[in-house]
Amino acid sequence: MTTVGEILRLGTRLLQAASSPSARLDAEVLLGHVLGLRRVDLYAYPDRTLTPEEEAAYQTLLERRSRQEPVSYLRQQKEFYGLTFFVDRRVLIPRPETEVLVERTLTRAQEMGRADLVLADIGTGSGCIAVALAWHLPGARLYATDISPEALEVAGENVRRHGLLERVTLLHGDLCAPLPEAVDLLVSNPPYTVWETLPAGITAYEPRVALDGGADGLDIYRRLLPQVPSALKAGGHALLEVGDGQARAVFALVEQVCPQAARWTWPDDSGNERVVEFRP
């Protein structure tokens, strides 16, 4: 019988041979997932033996990871803004930099001074933004739209898991079109990458519709921004995540639609302008 210590060493070697820069961490996370243990517990019980079924399940995950499949898909979960979300290949994996969008939206909501705000998350994907906002704004109602029925299935599971079915409404359709009413705050993390520049570990697994922003990464902003003024209530704010170096270009698009808009940018932890905010 193979022990935890032995198979962890084997798993690390396999992933190192596949040129994984996080071989040891990935081996630990995947083994903990199979055994239902925290990473620290793997070292507390190195002589624990694996059943044949556990060993086979771990080997399968290692082989998939060696082909660059993301760990979040292998575990079918991802942590975001202090909450745990179900994810699979139907949706984009939540990124840490998107937490800035949630943080700034919560700050703006608090500054607006009302508990009964109405928000919209455009292109919700896994639902992580909408769920995080609803979780921290217990008096608010949220609409979450997406053009992908498959993504909305995942978002629906996350809304259900977090007990928010009464306050988060999922809507199928393109951008703002499905919204039944104007909202106080509109947020979006739209596709803003140039698909051809992304690494194979992303393009082989994550949905193109959630990532591909066209030749310059700005295609969705060009379609979304003209819809924003009519989607917002008077005094409402829009907050959009942008890619590295895109803030100025998105500001220019905002100015075309709303020349008099008040505008802000907010950085991520690396100092990159990550969120563009404006009030028409």
**Residue 30 belongs to what H/E stretch?**
helix 23-35
pLDDT band at 21 (very low <50, low <70, confident <90, very high): confident
Residue 1 has pLDDT above 90, yes or no: no
**Per-residue model confidence as pLDDT tens digits over 45-104:** 999 999 999 999 999 999 999 999 999 999 999 999 999 999 999 999 999 999 999 999
pLDDT band at 184 (very low <50, low <70, confident <90, very high): very high
253 alpha carbon, distance to own chain's centre? 24
DSSP-derived pairing of the beta strands 118-122 and 183-188: parallel
For the chain, strand residue ranges (E) read 78-80, 83-85, 118-122, 141-146, 168-172, 183-188, 232-241, 262-267, 273-279
**Per-residue model confidence as pLDDT tens digits over 202-213:** 999 999 999 999
**Per-residue model confidence as pLDDT tens digits over 215-228:** 999 999 999 999 99
Question: Average pLDDT, whole number, for the chain?
Answer: 96
Q: Residue 82's CB: how many other CB atoms inside 10 A?
A: 10
Residue 187 has pLDDT above 90, yes or no: yes
Cβ proximity of 158 and 125 under 8 Å = no
Residue 19 has pLDDT above 80, yes or no: no
Predicted pLDDT of residue 69: 95
- 3-state DSSP call for residue 141? strand
Predicted pLDDT of residue 254: 97
- 3-state DSSP call for residue 165? coil
Cβ proximity of 274 and 242 under 8 Å = yes
Residue from 260, 181, 255 nearest 276 by CA:
255
Cβ proximity of 122 and 100 under 8 Å = no
Q: Which amino acid is at 247?
A: A
Predicted pLDDT of residue 190: 98
Determine what percent of the chain is predicted with pLDDT higher than 70: 100
Rounded Cα distance between 239 and 222, Å, is 15
- 3-state percent breakdown (helix, strand, coil) of the chain, nearest 5: 45, 20, 35
DSSP 176-201: TTT-SS-EEEEEE----B-GGGS-HH
Predicted pLDDT of residue 16: 94
Q: Indicate if the alpha-carbon torsion angle 191, 196, 202, 205 is positive or negative.
A: positive
**Per-residue model confidence as pLDDT tens digits over 250-279:** 999 999 999 999 999 999 999 999 999 999
Predicted pLDDT of residue 20: 80
